[in-house]
């Protein structure tokens, strides 16, 4: 039994109210600590980027030739940077920042630490995450492939764990290079991130891109890497997970045949398997997925990366913010 407790209304005097309002106003005008002598620079002081859910942003830190390590944090994900040399350009460090397909739209800080021996410097960028319009997909599948029995659920959970363990360690070396390869010649279906309704029931969004291709068509590795694990799992069917280093993984599912083994080194364009319809698939196609430091990104965003011809276009570099104590104005996200 519960008894409702009567609460006497808390009375706030007019003076108290004024004080509270003043404090709220002040804290919104000065988002940094009010009374600190060494107030840190406002968030986003070093520039800003914008992108949509599932996109990859190229973040460049220039003029840190002496740095021993550069790494960033975005929504609790760690983003390692790598050294970039380009003839005729100042040295810089580059980080690939993946926006997960389910990161909520909004503005977030991308905090970057530049280490030089014992010393560390903090940089702060603002990242505006825009909403992507994902399609809604209705799928009809055999009942047993959607409504899993207890045995299938146990199997699925064990498989998930196995993959997680295999991918827990990243190669600390950057193995990939700028020439990404589309893994199969086929029809891109554009269903990355789609909201999936299976036999009328809402399910997890689709975390990769499906490419329609005939049974047995060649599937190539998108870039150089190490085969971290090959599987034959309930949903993914025959699959290959390639570790490209620095937290970048690519995966290839529903294969009819796997042509590599765990631990194999592969190069961009190397045939690693054949298109199939194993696992939970309605017909032959390749499911191509990419994880970037834990973010599920659209694999095609790799092909769009501004690395081609050895240069990065100006618009992918953060807009420098003039030395001013004010927080930069948000920039509208490009549609």
In angstroms, give the least distance from the CB of 191 to Zn ion.
7
Q: Which residue number, 175 or 242, has a Cβ lying nearer to Zn ion? A: 242
CA–CA distance, 246 with 223 (Å, rounded to integer):
13
Give the sheet arrangement for strand 218-220, strand by strand. 218-220, 271-274, 257-258
In angstroms, give the least distance from the CB of 214 to Zn ion.
17
In angstroms, give the least distance from the CB of 277 to Zn ion.
11
Q: Which residue number, 101 or 123, has a Cβ lying nearer to Zn ion? A: 101
Q: Which residue number, 121 or 203, has a Cβ lying nearer to Zn ion? A: 203
Given 3-state DSSP classes, what are the helix, strand and coil percentages for the chain, each rounded to the nearest 5?
15, 35, 50
Would you say 100 and 297 are in contact if contact means Cβ atoms under 8 Å apart? yes
CA–CA distance, 99 with 55 (Å, rounded to integer):
6
DSSP state letter for 309: G
In angstroms, give the least distance from the CB of 207 to Zn ion.
8
Rounding to the nearest 10 degrees, give the CA dihedral for residues 260, 264, 270, 273: 20
CA–CA distance, 137 with 160 (Å, rounded to integer):
24
- Count of residues engaged in binding Zn ion, rule: CB under 5 A: 2
In angstroms, give the least distance from the CB of 219 to Zn ion.
13
Would you say 27 and 34 are in contact if contact means Cβ atoms under 8 Å apart? yes
Q: Which residue number, 110 or 235, has a Cβ lying nearer to Zn ion? A: 235
Tokens of 193: 């991130």
Q: Which residue number, 50 or 222, has a Cβ lying nearer to Zn ion? A: 222
Q: Which residue number, 21 or 135, has a Cβ lying nearer to Zn ion? A: 135
Closest C-alpha to 51, from 125, 113, 136: 125
Q: Which of 43, 287, 291, 296 binds Zn ion (CB under 5 A)?
A: 287
Tokens of 289: 């997925």
**Which of these ranges, 45-53, 79-87, 96-104, 284-292, lies near Zn ion under the rule CB under 5 A?**
284-292
Q: How many helices (H) and strands (E) does the chain have?
A: 4, 21
Q: Which residue number, 73 or 189, has a Cβ lying nearer to Zn ion? A: 189
DSSP state letter for 302: H
In angstroms, give the least distance from the CB of 105 to Zn ion.
24
**Which of these ranges, 14-22, 118-126, 174-182, 286-294, lies near Zn ion under the rule CB under 5 A?**
286-294
Q: Which residue number, 92 or 208, has a Cβ lying nearer to Zn ion? A: 208
**Which of these ranges, 71-79, 145-153, 266-274, 287-295, lies near Zn ion under the rule CB under 5 A?**
287-295
In angstroms, give the least distance from the CB of 175 to Zn ion.
25
Contacts with Zn ion, 48-87, as mask; x by CB under 5 A: ----------------------------------------
Residue 237 CA to its chain's centroid (Å):
24
Q: Which residue number, 287 or 291, has a Cβ lying nearer to Zn ion? A: 287
In angstroms, give the least distance from the CB of 16 to Zn ion.
58
In angstroms, give the least distance from the CB of 206 to Zn ion.
6
**Which of these ranges, 108-116, 136-144, 238-246, 283-291, lies near Zn ion under the rule CB under 5 A?**
283-291
CA–CA distance, 99 with 89 (Å, rounded to integer):
28
Distances in whole angstroms, Cα of residue 162 to Cα of each of 30, 228, 252, 277: 48, 11, 16, 22
Does residue 289 interact with Zn ion by CB under 5 A? no
Would you say 285 and 306 are in contact if contact means Cβ atoms under 8 Å apart? no
CA–CA distance, 150 with 152 (Å, rounded to integer):
5
Q: Which of 64, 100, 103, 210 binds Zn ion (CB under 5 A)?
A: 210
Residues of this chain that bind Zn ion (CB under 5 A): 210, 287
């Amino acid at each position: 039994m519960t008894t409702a407790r009567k609460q006497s209304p808390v009375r706030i005097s007019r003076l108290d109210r004024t004080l509270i309002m003043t404090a709220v106003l002040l804290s919104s005008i000065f988002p940094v600590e009010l009374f600190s002598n060494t107030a840190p620079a406002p968030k986003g002081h070093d520039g800003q980027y914008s992108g949509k859910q599932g996109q990859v942003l190229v973040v460049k830190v220039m003029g840190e030739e002496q740095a021993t390590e550069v790494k960033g944090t975005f929504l609790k994900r760690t983003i390692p940077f790598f050294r970039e040399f380009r003839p005729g350009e100042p040295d810089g460090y580059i980080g690939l920042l993946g926006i997960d397909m389910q990161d909520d739209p909004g503005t977030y800080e991308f905090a970057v630490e530049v280490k030089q021996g014992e010393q560390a410097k903090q940089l702060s960028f603002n990242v505006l995450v825009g909403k992507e319009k994902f399609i809604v997909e209705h799928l009809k599948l055999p009942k047993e492939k959607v409504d899993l029995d207890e045995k299938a659920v146990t199997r699925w959970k064990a498989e998930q764990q196995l993959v997680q363990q295999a991918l827990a360690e990243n190669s600390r070396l950057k193995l990939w290079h700028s020439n990404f390869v589309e893994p199969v010649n086929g029809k891109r279906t554009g269903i990355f991130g789609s909201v999936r309704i299976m036999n009328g029931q809402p399910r997890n969004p689709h975390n990769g891109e499906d490419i329609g291709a005939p049974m047995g068509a060649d599937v190539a590795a998108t870039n150089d890497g190490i085969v971290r694990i090959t599987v034959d799992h309930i949903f993914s069917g025959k699959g290959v997970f390639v570790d490209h280093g620095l937290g970048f993984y690519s995966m290839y599912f529903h294969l009819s045949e796997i042509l590599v083994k765990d631990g194999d080194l592969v190069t961009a364009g190397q045939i690693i398997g054949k298109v199939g319809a194993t696992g939970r698939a309605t017909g032959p196609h390749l499911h191509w997925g990419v994880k970037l430091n834990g973010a599920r990104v659209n694999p095609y965003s790799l092909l769009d990366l501004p690395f081609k011809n050895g240069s990065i276009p100006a618009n992918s570099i953060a807009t420098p913010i003039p030395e001013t104590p004010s927080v930069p104005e948000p920039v509208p996200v490009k549609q």
